[in-house]
Amino acid sequence: MLIALRVLQASMTKEIRIWKRRPRMIAMIIMLPLLFLGAFSILMGGVYTMGIDVALVVEEEHPGFYTNALIETLSEPDPIPPSLRLTQMDAETANTLFQNGEIQLVIIIPAGFEQAIKNNQSTSIILKINNAHEDMTKNLRMPVFRKLDQFYQEYLPQSAPVSFEYVPYQEHTFPRLAYMAWTLSIYSIMFTSLLTAGSSMTQEFENDTLCELIMSNQSPVSIYSGKLIVAVMISHIGVPLFFAFPFIAYGVWPFGNIFVFLSLTVPLALFSSSLGLMLGASLRNSVYVVPLSSLLALFYWFGGGGIAPLMQITNGLDSLFLIFSPLSSVYRSAITMLISGDLTFYLFDLATIGVFSMIMMIVAPILTMKIAGIDYHRLLSKLLIGQHRIGRSRVT
């Protein structure tokens, strides 16, 4: 038992030394999830904070109370994103910009608009929309509907018999990018542990050192466990950055506490690194391990509710697969804790990931050994032939 522990310690020391020699690799592994966050910040941050650029064409020759009120309503910043950033221009310029794809939405207030409203006649506003993508189309149209509803409620109350009231479930509504940053921390842990363990295995194959390691007459379980533990340690290095970003950008800090978070993520990292170990042993080449690790973790980030909460899920087999996976359970508990401090599912989810990670931790070294498939006979013959050759060269 004591020897096994010493081998474990030695294996860990060796792994730490190897990773210290590969600082660029570690930097790239930690950077990938951070760059994802950067990419999403640029992709969504602009639309959510600044709004979307819109061309406004006023064809009404005598704009009065209603026309000006509509323009004012449309251009007011909106607490529900995205806001519309209006630029007034003539019809021809707007059309050219729209045709060239430089502007995606044109709002036209037609001639006779003012008079029609004053006389209780029906009129319309015209929208020209770039419908290059379904979700983009939705995000371009919906704010206009909202603004028009606001205009009805405020300036045409006789034509707006119905309104709506919004009752939020929680006191705080966190910005989407803060939500994504926190969930990306879980992605980061999963990806880093998968890739670190996987890369550690493929390196052994690529450098031809695995055979020597196995032939060293030490417990393979301890050797592999050393790799797992180091992978778990490395996987948590980047986590503080994902919490620092929303704090710096929005001044928001999540609910819950770090120990509950770690109690979920450490078993997750153990589970993922065990998976990485087997992945590395079976693929034996980083060409496959790198994209697979990155995308497997991305799959569970999307599927676990990293980008949109799982409660929006409609029924379906794929949804069941996502909801009941042990990895999604970590996402569920971590998300509910970070967003509202709620720990309803915590014990159940902790037990689920705990059991799975324990099983994987026991099974992974054994399976890795089997998958690695060292041909001892060939290896011994190679070693013996090598020694024979050395002996002969010494004689000659």
Site for another protein in 83-122 (CB under 8 A): 85, 98-102, 104, 117, 120, 122
Contact criterion met (CB below 8 Å) for 335 and 308: no
Are 45 and 177 in contact, with CB atoms under 8 Å apart?
A: yes
Q: Match 């994902």 to its residue by tokens.
A: 242
Checking DSSP bridges between strand 105-109 and strand 52-58, what pairing results, if any? parallel
The least CB distance from residue 151 to another protein, in Å, is: 7
CA distance 252 to 240: 14
Stretch that binds another protein, among 79-87, 234-242, 274-282, 375-383 (CB under 8 A): 79-87
CB 216 → another protein: shortest distance, Å? 24
Task: Give the binding range for another protein (CB under 8 A) out of 141-149, 184-192, 267-275, 377-385.
Answer: 141-149
Three-class SS state of 88: strand
- Contact between 364 and 278 (Cβ < 8 Å): yes
Q: Pick between residue 187 and residue 224 the one whose CB is nearest to another protein.
A: 187
Residues near 312 by Cβ (< 8 Å), separated by ≥ 6? none
Cβ nearer to another protein, comparing 32 with 223? 32
State the nearest-atom distance from the C-beta of 375 to another protein, in Å.
Answer: 23
Site string for another protein, 272-301 (x = CB under 8 A): -------------xxxx-xxx-xxx-xx--
Query: CB of 391: closest distance to another protein in angstroms?
Result: 31
Residue 52's H or E segment, with its range, is strand 52-58
**Of residues 20-59, which lie at the interface with another protein (CB under 8 A)?**
24-25, 28-29, 31-32, 35-36, 38-40, 42-48, 50-53
The answer to whether 269 touches 189, Cβ cutoff 8 Å, is: yes
| 67 lines the binding site for another protein (CB under 8 A) | no
Based on the number of CB atoms within 10 Å of its own CB, is 121 exposed (0-12), middle (13-18) or buried (19 or more)? Answer: exposed
Spacing of C-alpha 288 from chain mean position: 21
Q: Which stretch binds another protein (CB under 8 A): 133-141, 208-216, 268-276, 368-376?
A: 133-141
- Nearer Cβ to another protein (168/394): 168
Instruction: In angstroms, give the least distance from the CB of 161 to another protein.
Output: 5
**CB-based contact 61:111 (threshold 8 Å):** yes
Specify the residue, 28 or 244, whose C-beta has the smaller distance to another protein.
28
Report 213-272 residues binding another protein (CB under 8 A).
Answer: none
Radius of gyration of the chain from its Cα atoms, rounded to whole angstroms: 30
Applying CB under 8 A, which of residues 1, 80, 390, 395 lies at the interface with another protein?
Answer: 80
Long-range contacts of 67-70 (CB under 8 A, 24+ apart): 67/109, 67/113, 67/114, 69/151, 69/154, 69/155, 70/109, 70/113, 70/125, 70/151, 70/155
Residue 361 CB, nearest approach to another protein (Å): 25
Task: Tell me which of 18, 229, 268, 322 binds another protein, using CB under 8 A.
Answer: 322
Residue of the chain from 161, 217, 390, 392 that contacts another protein (CB under 8 A): 161
Instruction: State in angstroms the smallest separation of the CB of 51 from another protein.
Output: 7
Q: How many residues touch another protein (CB under 8 A)?
A: 118
Shortest Å distance, C-beta 65 to another protein:
14
Site for another protein in 183-212 (CB under 8 A): 195, 199, 202-203, 206
Using the contact rule CB under 8 A, the part of the chain among 172-180, 262-270, 347-355, 361-369 near another protein is 172-180
Whole-number minimum distance, CB 163 to another protein, in Å? Answer: 5
Q: Which of residues 142 and 355 has its CB atom nearest to another protein in the complex?
A: 142
Whose tokens are 């989407």? That residue is: 176
Pairing status of strand 84-88 against strand 52-58: parallel
Residue number, 343 or 358, with CB nearest to another protein: 343
- To another protein, the closest distance from the beta carbon of 203 in angstroms equals 7
Angle between helix 220-235 and 176-206 (nearest 10): 150
Nearest distance in Å: CB 367, another protein: 22
Residues 335-354 that bind another protein (CB under 8 A): 335-336, 339, 344
CA nearest neighbour of 262 among 196, 191, 175, 354: 354
Query: Would residue 341 be called left, alpha or beta, if left means φ above 0 and alpha means ψ between -120 and 50 degrees?
Result: left
Distance between CA atoms of 356 and 362, rounded to whole angstroms?
A: 10
